[in-house]
Structure 1
Amino acid sequence: GDGAIALFLQGCGGDINPARYKDISQPRDAEPLGDMLGLGAMQAAKKLTCGDDSRLKVINETIELPRADNAERIAALEEEQLRLVRSLKGTSLNLKTFLQLSVQHDLAAAFPSYYSHRYFHEKQLGRDHLEKFDVENRRNIEAYLQNIAVMEELTRVQTNLALLKKHQARNVAAGKRTLDVELVGLRIGEFVLVTFPGELTVRIGLNIKSLTLHPFTFVAGYTNGYIYYAPTTEQLLNVGNAQEDSDCLLAPDWQPIFETKAAEILRRL
């Protein structure tokens, strides 16, 4: 009704992206998603019923979470970076000639260098110059493609390496092996909320909801600070090329500490 306060809270979206966020056929547009969210909220608001539960309670606590030591991962990525650089091999192609040859060989794999009659003419003369020329060009195309794949991988490695070094420097400069994070528990009637100052993943939100008996439990990340991504223990121990694995200040064993504390706060609300 009039005078009511509407709150927008972000949940555990650290591993959520729009399905087509890398689409190159159309520009990125968040408006349709916002429209869907807004319409969904309006539809839900029509179904709201008011009750007599006027409970209001707030709990605010600070806990210590273990900081990551990225030294081994940094060393491993630097070794991988060097291996990738050394795997790059020179070819006789540049981007201009690579694109031209790729189109020729894709359009006419059997006769990429000229019209077919030229190949048949050479065959009648007992020559195979064009065939050998095509073999050499295909070899150069494959080598160039391999270099492109290496450069893409090198880009990912260098991006993650820069993130790891940044967070390692911050953790070392902190002078202690733990990170202080603020948690808030909030009850408004039947609704209960617990917060975290980082990008939680979906799995963590579901875990916390499974640990509470409150039917209307919400877990909000990105709240009262920002400590970057907070992947699960499993994700941090099984690192891949995802940026989230490297853009993190926390050690893998942070997750059970937070989940246990969050469940405790929810029980006290």
Structure 2
Amino acid sequence: MTFDKDPADARLRVGAARADITPPVGLRLTGTLREKGSEAVDRPLALTALALLGGRTPVIVLACDLVHLSPEEVAQLRAAVAARIGPADIFVNVSHSHATPAPPSAREFDPQTEAEQVELAELYFREVVAKAAGISAVAVAGARPAVVGHGTGTVTVGVNRREVGPDGNLLLGENPDGIVDPTVGVVRFDEVGGRPIAAVVHYSCHPDVLGPKSGLISPDFVGAARDVTERLTGAMALFLQGCAGDIDPLCGIVTGDDGVREADRLGTELACEAVRVYQRLVEHRVRDHRVHWRSSTSNSSVTGWVYQDARHSDPVVASTSTTVTLPLRELPAPEEAAAAYASAVEHFDAVRDQQADLPTRLRARRRVIWTEMQLAAVRRGEALTEDVEVQGIRIGDLALIGIPAELFVEIGLQIRAGSPFRTTLVSGYTNGVLFYVPTAAAFEQGGYEIESHQNYLRPAGPTPEWEKRLVSTGLDVLADLNRAEVNR
């Protein structure tokens, strides 16, 4: 692991910038339950850059209103940013709103029957990459001396979604007794003197109030949370998704026009708690000494306070990342994989001949893509592993951890519980999304998330040991960040 080494005269400088990444109406949104392209825009999608300058290498945090990116697409985005601003440590987090388009890597559009959609999706991704580079440069150029404060609050806008149905099987529903993380992480950046720069709001919950049949382009509840935070603070707000693999909105997935109202309600609740915390994080003028005045009508005194400028020290700014190689599940036997592929092709041909509805065709085509991918992996005859990046950023006694997966909330809670930092924000959906990573206990229970690698077009999924290994690696990264002060 390597760290940014701060020069002796380093001081924290912070900049923020934003681009609108709303796709054209008509581009189909993510998911195989869609019946047609998008129809309207609820709220614009945002791509927001936060530049942290306190060492030799800038740290760039990018908060994106996207459902997911592959690690390979993140590599392209990082390369474009670095080409524009020079070497940088880049942290890319997606909000995971389901009312946004899937990236090209998801292969959700059929090149034979949806050539226009394929072209739109590829053009959209290229524009996102270009805008990421552009706003990163603007954020770096506009960085100014800053002070930082951070803390946490509590609000419940999410519910554990692993519900046991009447038949004993798990479904994506509501489990009010399941584990959630009600913690709202808030980071405040101000100019020296008081002018707001940026506010980071961190929370763990799927932004999928607007269901898979909605035709609205939207950041979901994240949009309302961001808008309300900005109106009340004057700061540019970034939403960072936490560990939401098994957490859905408290209102559930909502059908019809009620979805927009419910998304706005939950986002406003989240923002109001974030703003409450924000207001107490940084003081620019503090009470210095007391003065007394004699009352003219009695022997009592009236007291008041004289204020002075608060003193702020520059925090240690450090960034590191490490890669851990983790095993994937065993692949099926060659004959089993071949049979699965043949069955998928047969089913796909049948639904096309029957002129089935779009969702049926999309699901059937996706099954063909995945079984073909798995069969190819089987024929290569190699043991499958996955290289997983765990990235850490330190700003004083604040730490941010990013992992490229839909982590179950318990994994983030374990990392945070073992952290040496006063505030620790653990984010899945960062620097790509491989698939869901459930806890070891969840593997025994089963459910949708266990086989999610199929939807993410990965030939095999994680094993139960991923939980322990990712927690251990996250804690190692935090320990290394905690030692970074010696580099100042």
2:293 pairs with 1:58: no
Query: What CA deviation, in whole Å up to 9, does each residue of 1:134-166 have, x standing for no partner?
Result: xxxxxxxxxxxxxxxxxxxxxxxx9xx889858
Shift of 1:38: 2.2
Larger RCO of the pair (alpha carbons < 8 Å, separation 6+): 1
Q: 2:398 aligns with which of 182, 191, 197?
A: 191
TM value normalised by structure 2: 0.34
Cα deviation 1:5-25 (Å, max 9, x = unaligned): 333211111111123324568
Match of 2:118 in 1: none
Q: Does 1:15 align with 2:246?
A: yes
The residue type paired with residue 269 of structure 2 is: M
Which of 37, 40, 44 is matched with 2:277 structurally?
44
Task: Answer yes or no: is the 8 Å Cα contact 1:21–1:28 preserved in 2.
Answer: no
Shift of 1:52: 2.2
TM-score norm. by structure 1 comes to 0.59
CA deviation after TM superposition for structure 1 residue 221, in Å: 0.6
User: Partner of 2:450 in structure 1?
Assistant: 245
Bigger proportion of residues as helix: 1
The equivalent position to 1:33 in structure 2, one of 261, 266, 287, is 266
Distance in 2 (alpha carbons) for counterparts of 1:206 and 1:219: 8
Contact 1:164/1:246 (CA < 8 Å) preserved in 2?
Answer: no
> 1:107-137 CA distances to partner (integer Å, 9 max, x unpaired)?
xxxxxxxxxxxxxxxxxxxxxxxxxxxxxxx
Q: Does 1:209 align with 2:416?
A: yes
Distance in structure 2 (CA, Å) of the matches to 1:70 and 1:237: 19
- Measure the CA separation in 1 of the matches of 2:419 and 2:469: 16
**Offset at 1:171?**
6.0
Shift of 1:53: 4.8
Distance between the aligned counterparts of 1:259 and 1:234, measured in 2? 15
1:178-200 CA-partner distances (Å, limit 9, x unpaired): 10111111101111111100111
2:4 matches 1:4: no
Q: 1:179 aligns with which of 386, 407, 419?
A: 386
Pick from 329, 338, 341: which aligns with 1:68? 329
Q: CA, structure 1 residues 45+189, in 2 after alignment: closer, same or farther (shift >3 Å)?
A: same
Q: 1:166 to 1:202 in 2, by over 3 A?
A: farther
For residues 7-48 of structure 1, what are the alpha-carbon distances to aligned partners after superposition, in whole Å with 9 as ceiling and x for unaligned? 321111111112332456873232222222222222221111
The 3-state SS of whatever aligns with 2:240 is: coil
Q: Which has the higher strand share?
A: 2
Between the aligned partners of 1:170 and 1:61, the Cα distance in structure 2 is 29
Q: Go from structure 1 to structure 2 and tell me whether the alpha carbon gap of 1:55 and 1:171 turns closer, same or farther (over 3 Å shift).
A: farther
Contact 1:53 1:190 in 2 (8 A): no
Matched residue type, 1:61: T
Give the letter aligned to residue 45 of structure 1: Y
Q: Deviation per CA, 1:198-219: give whole Å up to 9, x if none.
A: 1111111111112223221111
Q: Give the Cα separation in 2 of the matches to 1:19 and 1:208.
A: 24
- 3-state SS in 2 of match to 1:63: strand
Structure-2 residue corresponding to 1:224:
431
SS at match of 2:326: strand
Q: Which amino acid aligns with 2:249?
A: P
Give the residue type in structure 2 aligned to 1:33. L
Compared CA separation, residues 234 and 167, structure 1 to 2 (3 A): farther
Aligned alpha-carbon RMSD (Å): 3.5
Paired amino acid for 1:21: G
Contact 1:14-1:229 within 8 A present in 2 as well: yes
User: Separation in 2 of the partners of 1:69 and 1:25?
Assistant: 42
Structure-2 change in CA distance of 1:23 and 1:60 (3 Å):
closer
CA change 1:216–1:163 in 2 (3 A) is: farther
Instruction: Pick closer, same or farther for the CA change 1:61–1:164 going to 2, 3 Å.
Output: same
SS of 1:185's equivalent in the other structure is strand
Question: Which AA in structure 1 matches 2:251?
Answer: R
Q: Aligned equivalents of 1:33 and 1:171: distance in 2?
A: 43
Mark the structure with the bigger radius of gyration.
1
Residue ranges of structure 1 left out of the alignment (5+ in a row): 79-157
Q: Which residue of 2 aligns with 1:148?
A: none
Cα 1:33/1:234, change in 2 over 3 Å: same
Q: How many residues align?
A: 189
